[in-house]
Each structure stands twice: as structure tokens, then as C-alpha cells.
Structure 1
């Protein structure tokens, strides 16, 4: 059985088009995305312009529960590293039910904010004492359940974490819930694969960082991953902080991205999360490797990471996508705004994200972020085209900031002028409505459970 939606305006991979018919099959896959169409009698009509759903390529779900709780001076000079200490304290208290409740609310929030899929970089594996649960996959299964309940598309990336610094430094007390041997990680992947397959989720691997995974473990884990699921996504934190760059040079004589490119088979299946601090050669070689740069603008701003050289990456044809990471902000449009504004401040120019093909910044950035996010997720979610999943967002044409505008300007207003109120009416994932009139069906229930989980964690 085929379902269809008719849109007066829709953002196709080639740009904006008029009178677009979107049709999808029972599996939620688009079989048609045709411009200049007549409206079939049986097709629904979109209430506003239709844009592709945004993949969220980097998430630590549990961190949503302490967003806003670290915005006070804890040290003489606060940084990522002092924030990390507070994060470890919070992670130490987390239980499976709290993980599921926090993630359920977060994923409902994401859907309401225009994200239709998420890559979950999952590194809390064990109980509070650092011992494996009876079911070693307990916390990963909690995340799978949250994704299933909300209907968000899912890529699960269990994290390999072994050391606290370059050169094999032993893990510290705050990392005890994260630590796994390589063999243990591969057994976890084997245990999770049937559940992911049954849910239509994608399974991959996240070596946490070069400081947390020694070279031999990285090689063994990648070989083991290929034996379980060849071509699966590989995500890694890299070059987020200048201290990390300095420590990597002291250890190896090379910068992190340069070391990775020379010692690992980096290609289009890889996502280099942050990659903020690269030199010109790393930008050139990293972009040409085919890897996706995983940019998380609001988290990178919140943590004081620094600014990615967007122009240098795109100059070499680099793919990129967006993640909400620590979830200080959960809003696809605001990530686009922060990315563009950061580059404007960096270059002292306007409309940095525009391209020759797409002069509207919001249009150009949306299309590129969807393509890069789909690649990083390892799923067919790359936009409104036949063969891709029917993931899309209907903008609210009645929202004041959008009224009376053309479709490209509506998207621009949604990103740059909606004053932190979302101009989203409906969100569909795999051809199924998940958000209507701006609200997810689980909004109230999930919000209540989230507040209860956070309250309990703060009281323990």
C-alpha cells in the first residue's frame, strides 16, 4: 500500500520545487518525489513547506538531564575539563530506568525540533561500581527502547573506552562505568545486532578518542567490527580541545587527525566528531578522505571548544553534519544558526554557508547537513528522493515569523528569525506521523518521567 503527501513547496536534494508529490511504500521508503505534480484525490496536503528531516549525528542522551546545571564558576578557569569532572559525577548515579526515561524525553524533544534520526554515542556501559550488568547490554537496550517508543530513527554506537590519556594511562575513578576490553566490546556488538536489526536501527562502533583507545585496540576493534557488520559506521571524538592536540603531539609527534589518517582506514564510513583544531593539511586530507565532520555548534560553544574552519573543510569538498551532543540545546534550526553565526564571527563576513547553487544560507546548510548526517548514520535518510526513507518536516506557515514569505524565506525565518520558538507543524519518520501541531504524542508522559528521573539523580 502506498501513501502520499502533496506539498505546494518542498526542498528536494536539487533545491526548492513546486507542487511536489511525495509517495512512500509500507516500509516507509519513498518511491516518488515528483515536482510539478497534480494532487491526487487520496493524498494529504501539507500545511506548509516540506523539508527533509535532519539527522542528529552525535548524542550522549543522559547528558540532557544535567543541561543547564554546570553554568556556574567551579574553578578559577572553567573549561571542557572541569565540565567533564561534573559530568562524571552525574554519570556515576545513572540507572537503566533513568537512562530510558531521559532518552525517551530527549528523543521526543528531538522529533519536535526537526530531527528525525539520531546517532547515539553510548559510553555508560556498567553499573555504578563499574561491574557489568547481568545482561551486559542493559543500558544500550534502554536506549533502543526509548528510540522505539518515540519512533525516531536510530544508529547505536557503543563506545570503546580503555585509557585516560595518550600512552595507555590507566582509567580514573570517574571512568569506571565506561571501560571495556576489545573482546568485551565485540561481544557486546554481537549481542546487540539482532535487536538493532529487528528495530530497523543501524549498529556501529565509537572508539571514544585517541586518548582513550590505544592503537592496537583500535586496529583489533575495527577488524572485529567488520567481521560482525562490514561497512558499519565508525565515529570518534577527535581534536576537540587544544590540550588534546598538545598531548597527542607529545605522545606521537603528530596532531590527532594527522595520526588517525596515517594509522587507520579513514573513509566515508567514518565520522570525525568535532575535529575543531586541525591545521591546513589536516583539513585538506581529512576532507578528501570522505569522512564526515561531526559538528556540534551549541555544545562546542557551551564548552568553549573553539571554532571549526568551515570554509577550509568545504573548500576541499568535505562532508559534514550536525549533532546536539550534550543537549544544552535540542533544536536543529538553532544548530544551523550557531554554525553560521560562529563562522560569521570567525571570518567577519555574512552568509558564509551559502553556495553558488544555493544562495539562501538556510537552504544550503540544510541540504548539506542532511546529506552528511545520513552518511554518518549509515542509513538511507539523505533527503526527499526515491529510495530514501520518508523522513520529513512540515514547517508551520501560520507561525508569525513565516507568514507571507516564499518557501526559501520561510526556512530562513525558521532558522534565523523564529526567536527561539519553533516553526514546525508536523514531523514524519519512515512515513509515519510522529509530531502533529508541534507536539509528540508522548510529550506530557515523557516530560513527567524525565523530571522525575532528573529529580532523583539530583537527590541521590
Structure 2
């Protein structure tokens, strides 16, 4: 049977889960799920009318960690306000900004962010959402108001989403009372479970996944964590679970003072950590913690541009991989919104620490960009809880096509084009188009809503800044 031109794409070169392949025909069904990936196809009569990718074909990258509202103040905290500026002083800026956002502004910010993501090679996002209440810290009449704004933004932009409402209850280890600046974040465990029930139909209607994000060990007490996980298991047994962990050395010190254990150590001994979990950052671990965490099958959520921007430190990726650890990429605070840029920063951070090169390549994939892309795809899909892990039957047709005519890529072999895209180009400029569930969302590097969404974003940001 001849391929349906509306549900197929031919590429001279494509990065499949097993590596690069020539003359690849990808087909999908009406739901946007890949039904076949044929290699060695020709461009002869059977492919007449089938669209042909103008460059190498990749699976779209999942972005496994996003706080959408923070995009609106990216770049606005780059000045010193303390004797020693740090994550903790940056957090005060974030609190002031978060205090001013309306639901309409959040939706505008998120819509523009998701458009940016699609233009930069991300086709799915895990939204770690902890802004729940109104500007006075009071619940909205509909407690799902801000969550629904994010779902609408994803639907408008056309990006896949895993929505992770964050459980946030205290300001520090041992159940310290929340600070006034955290009033918009606070929910009881029962209220959080009710929110998930409320959101489930809306998420299902647009093909979104729904999970839970215990914000951090400092923000959720042990009893609450246990109750939330039990309640989640009853509601959505396979739901993804994301948590900030061991991001800052002060967090490690505070956890030791509270429990006598380091954060990752405590979590592994007191929670049922498994492949549903994403350990976001996990920057400061001992060698034993790296080994133990990797054994659980959990994904490490690495956010290189944010970790650099906030001065967090550098995750030991070679050690994690030595133990068979899985990982994915997130843009977190969105100081950078570019999948290739995150890959570059991840590899460069490892080089700076170890004074070696091409540390994330391996025997199966000696090309560093190809190796990192495949690893991040698999880990990101696992963390998202959605079938978006690569170009294979059963996976969603989330696609990225590189621009083979871009000067940085032109006349190179396909695997070298990907390397040039990551390490030798303006990065997003090397992308021709992105597709989500078989629907083209960007063409020639630009989303149809680019100008409209940008204007709404700028207006929202200006109003927020004027209100501070």
C-alpha cells in the first residue's frame, strides 16, 4: 500500500534509536502515533507525493523540567544585590516576580515559551507547576485556574505536555512554616489530590500526561510525602513523579542537620523511588548516591543552562553513565530555551571539570552529539511518562528536521550535520521544521504564532514589571 502523503515523511538520513540510517520512511496514524519506520527506501514511484525532509530527521527532544512563568524574568537578575550572590538571593527576585502574575499573564508567557521551545527543537515539555493561588495567596474559585492556563498554552502552541502540579507546604526541613512570599505555592496534600482529579479529564482531552511534583524535601514533610504518593498511586498508578533534590550545597547541609542524611540518601531510604521518578538536578551526590540512585531506574533531570546561571555546580555525568544511569534535559528557569544549547553546555561542563573531550560519546555512538541526543530522548520520554522516545513504531511522531542548507551544516554527512548543529552553529538556526504527533508546528524555523505570541508575552512582562 502506498504511503499516505498526509501521514508520512521521507528522509535521506534519520537518527533512529539504533543509530543513523539512510533513506528512511516514517509513517503514522490519525492519532499521530508512528506505525512504521522503513529503512533503505528509495525515492522512486512508491514514494511519489510523500513529503521529503530537507535535512536529517531526528526525534523531537522532550524538555523534562520547566517553570514557565520564570521565562518572563530571564536575564533580569544579572546584577549583584548581596555580598555573595547565589541561588538563594536569586530566589528572592523570583518570589517578587511570582507575586504579580495573573492567570492571563501566565498563559501569555507560557504560550510564547512553548512557541520558542518548538522553534528550538523541543516538542514536549514537563511543566513543574507551583504557582497555584491568586496574588494574595488565596485559592481561586476554581483551584485549577493556573494549571488550566498552562494546558491551554500548550494546546495553543501545539506542544506536548506533562503537567506536574507541585506540592509545596513548608519553607525548610522539619516542616518550617511557609514564608509570606510562598503563599501562592501552598497546598495541603488532600487539596493537591483533589486538584489532580479535577485536572485529569482536561489533560486526557488533549493527550497530556499528569503527574506530581513534590517540590523538594525541604518543602514537603515526610508524612505529607508519604500520603501524597499513596494518594497518587490510587489516582494515577503510573504517573511520573518529579522532585528537586540536592541542587545546592546549603540544601545538603540543611538536610544533614535535620535528618543526619544527605537528600538523595534520605529519599532513597524513605520513598519508593523507581523508574517513574525524575530527580531534578541531583547535583551534589556522593559516589555511593550516584550508584544507588542509578539502580532505581530513576531519571536524572539535568538543566545545564539554569545550573550554570544559578551557580549550582556540575553533575558528574560520566559517573552516572558508568552506573547505567538515565538522564534527560530541562531548561528550568529558561535563561536559555534551546535544546542543542543545553547539550553543548552539558558536554562542555564535563570537559571543564575533567579536562577531557567528548566525554558523553560511547562505543556505540562515537559522535558526541548523536550519543547525547539518543540518551536525552530516552530519559526525557521516561520522565514525561509519554511515548516520545524516538523514531520507532508505537512512539509519537514528534519530529525535528535540520536545515541541510544552513551554512554551518551544508554538504556535511548527516551525523556531522548534527554535530555542527550542536557545537558549531547558532543552534536554533539549524532547524528547518518541527512536528508534534504528526502535525507540522514550525516551518523554516518559525512558528505560525511567533509574532502574535511574542507581542502578548512582551505586554505581560511589561505589566508584571510595572506592578512591582
The answer to whether TM tops 0.5 is yes
1:423-449 per-position Cα deviation (integer Å, ceiling 9, x unaligned): 000000000000001000100000000
Select between 331-340 and 221-230 the one with higher mean Cα deviation: 221-230
Q: How many angstroms does 1:37 deviate by?
A: 1.2
Matched, 1:202 2:209: yes
Aligned ranges for residues 110-121 of structure 1 at < 5 Å? 110-121=117-128
Q: How many angstroms does 1:421 deviate by?
A: 5.1
* Corresponding residue to 2:327 among 312, 320, 323: 320
Q: How many angstroms does 1:42 deviate by?
A: 2.8
What is the aligned partner in structure 2 of residue 227 from structure 1?
A: 234
Aligned ranges for residues 409-428 of structure 1 at < 5 Å? 409-419=416-426, 422-428=429-435
What is the aligned partner in structure 2 of residue 13 from structure 1?
A: 17
What is the aligned partner in structure 2 of residue 144 from structure 1?
A: 151
Matched, 1:346 2:353: yes
Matched, 1:387 2:391: no
State how far apart, in whole Å, the 1-side matches of 2:62 and 2:173 are: 32
Q: Note the residue ranges of structure 1 that are not aligned, 5 or more in a row.
A: none
State how far apart, in whole Å, the 1-side matches of 2:245 and 2:171 are: 14
Q: How many angstroms does 1:420 deviate by?
A: 5.1
State how far apart, in whole Å, the 1-side matches of 2:236 and 2:290 are: 29
Matched, 1:28 2:32: yes
State how far apart, in whole Å, the 1-side matches of 2:438 and 2:131 are: 32
State how far apart, in whole Å, the 2-side matches of 1:421 and 1:256 are: 36
State how far apart, in whole Å, the 2-side matches of 1:433 and 1:404 are: 25
State how far apart, in whole Å, the 1-side matches of 2:428 and 2:301 are: 25
What is the aligned partner in structure 1 of residue 42 from structure 2?
A: 38
TM value normalised by structure 2: 0.98
1:27-79 per-position Cα deviation (integer Å, ceiling 9, x unaligned): 00000111101231131100000011000000000000000000011111100
Aligned ranges for residues 6-405 of structure 1 at < 5 Å? 6-39=10-43, 40-405=47-412
State how far apart, in whole Å, the 2-side matches of 1:88 and 1:298 are: 20
Q: Note the residue ranges of structure 2 that are not aligned, 5 or more in a row.
A: none
State how far apart, in whole Å, the 1-side matches of 2:460 and 2:150 are: 15
Q: How many angstroms does 1:227 deviate by?
A: 1.0
* Aligned-residue CA RMSD (Å): 0.7
| Counterpart contact for 2:11–2:53, Cα < 8 Å | yes
TM value normalised by structure 1: 0.99
State how far apart, in whole Å, the 2-side matches of 1:3 and 1:26 are: 8
Structure 1 residue runs of 4 or more that deviate by more than 4 Å after TM superposition: none
